[in-house]
Amino acid sequence: MADCDQAVLIRIRLSDDSFGMEGERSRIVALEAEIERTLEKAAAGELDGDEFGEGQCTIYLYGSDADQLADVVLPLLANFKVLPGSSVTKRYGPPGSREEQLLVYSPQ
């Protein structure tokens, strides 16, 4: 992808203060596969990996338009039950650029 300087960071709060439970990690890996397929189909960007630790998982998405990235993944997250404190951050440029944080709603 020619221009991947914008980002969406998905932070999923885990059930413990470490790396989460095995089933939780498996659900997140399945979510990542779904995100990758959806991003590819929409030609919106790419999933660049994840990081587990300190009670959260952060999924890193990059592309040329943070709003488009968020528009593609938010419907997937709406169906993925997350704990309170989970969030999505849109970053409009390289690290240090303007950011907009969105709270992820999870029906109980």
Token output for 72:
């593609």
Whether residue 108 lies inside any domain: the answer is no
Say if 33 falls within a structural domain: yes
Residue 93 lies in a domain: yes
Q: pLDDT tens across 37-72, in order? A: 999 999 999 999 999 999 999 999 999 999 999 999
Residue 106: predicted pLDDT? 53
pTM value > 0.75: yes
CA dist., res. 57 & res. 10, Å (int): 8
Spell out the residues 6+ positions from residue 50 whose beta carbon is closer than 8 angstroms to its own. Answer: 28, 32, 57, 58, 59, 60
Q: Which domain holds residue 59?
A: 6-103
**What is the count of structural domains for the chain?**
1
What pLDDT does residue 81 have? Answer: 85
Residue 1 domain flag: no
**CATH number of the domain encompassing residue 23:** 3.30.70.1510
Q: What is the mean pLDDT of the chain?
A: 90
